[in-house]
Amino acid sequence: MKKVYITMNIPEIAEKLLKEEFEVVVNTDNKFLSKEALIQLGCEYDAILSALTNIFDEDILSKCTKTKIFANYAVGFNNFDIDYIKENSIIVTNTPGVLSDTTAETAISLLFAVSRRVVEADRFVREGKWEGFSPKLLLGKDIYNKTLGIIGAGRIGHRFAEKLRGFHMKILYHNRERDLCFEKSFNAEYCELDDLLKRSDIVTIHVPLTEKTRYMITKKEIDLMKDDAILINTSRGSVIKEEDLIEALENKKIYGAGLDVFEDEPNINSRFFELNNTVLLPHIGSASKETREMMATIAAKNIIRVLKGGEPINLVY
Ligand code: GLV
Ligand code: GLV
């Protein structure tokens, strides 16, 4: 019987589907898997259902001699050495599509939390600081009629724009290539990155992390932004040079930031904790019950197809 290893405690549906065909072992207590442990798994299991925290670099992948498919429990797959999997035709799948709405909703909740200072206001009430209605208490910033800059107009960027239709925003976008359909749907204007940063009141990032997008936003780019701009990131932490962003937030060079992802997760630079203009989430972009179940189902289905000799549905390359 073929063997499948699931590296994290994901919704049971995956195990249930896989158990109909294969022997399945789950890392139920999410114990840390070292490099050696991953190599060991790759020599023992026919398929690995991996998480974004499992780093498969060239050295590890070259030693995973038994594994036929790595089904990553995420849409992002920057935890794999992309060049190596391309060159060696290693089967890696992801979970696109099912999490686009949920991740867009997370980005939107960050946007409102920052613009209307929701988390700061909640802390204020809990700390017993509220002395009564006050006309100038915790004034925020409106979203409607403002200019929205979307960096990465893929599935998630698209859903973000779609959900904000009622806010009558001017939409700018930057993408690897122009997307005429996106332009038409949202009356959106294609911009170079610098131009988008200069003109947007809100900037939201929805690009995958690649060698091209790493540190796409550094001090130089932040300096172009309006001084009351809001930056939202639900993609990958390393798209932004975090030190530079912290400095800008400390000096109030922009209005605020909403972040679901960080450069060195789960280690958070403690300077963030002092910032009232920043909302921090623990990488919960796709974390709705419904979506996590769908992600588990897709990952399992990809494994079932490949181990039964078929083609995967969501091959990343
Ligand atoms: C989560 O970050 C994902 O890539 O699905
Ligand atoms: C992810 O699913 C994206 O293409 O935005």
Rounded (10°) angle between helices 100-115 and 289-307: 150
pLDDT at site 155: 97
Q: Which amino acid is at 275?
A: L
Average of per-residue pLDDT across 58-69:
98
236 is catalytic: yes
147: three-class secondary structure by DSSP = strand
Confidence of residue 270 (pLDDT cuts 50, 70, 90): very high
283 is catalytic: yes
Q: What is the pTM of this model?
A: 0.96
Same domain flag for 119 and 212: yes
Confidence of residue 315 (pLDDT cuts 50, 70, 90): very high
> Could you check whether the bond before residue 11 is cis, i.e. omega within 30 degrees of 0?
no
| Cβ(96) – ligand 2 distance below 6 Å | yes
Same domain flag for 166 and 256: yes
Same domain flag for 39 and 175: no
Structural domain contains residue 205: yes
The parent domain of residue 8 ranges over 3-97+289-307
Same domain flag for 50 and 161: no
Same domain flag for 165 and 44: no
Same domain flag for 134 and 249: yes
What is the chain's mean pLDDT, rounded? 98
Same domain flag for 72 and 140: no
Same domain flag for 270 and 258: yes
Average of per-residue pLDDT across 205-221:
98
Say which of 221, 236, 242, 292 is annotated catalytic.
236
Instruction: CATH number of the domain at 227, please.
Output: 3.40.50.720
CA 76 to ligand 1 centroid distance, Å? 5
Task: Name the residue with the closest Cα to ligand 1, atom 1.
Answer: 74
Distance CA 239, CA 216 (A): 5
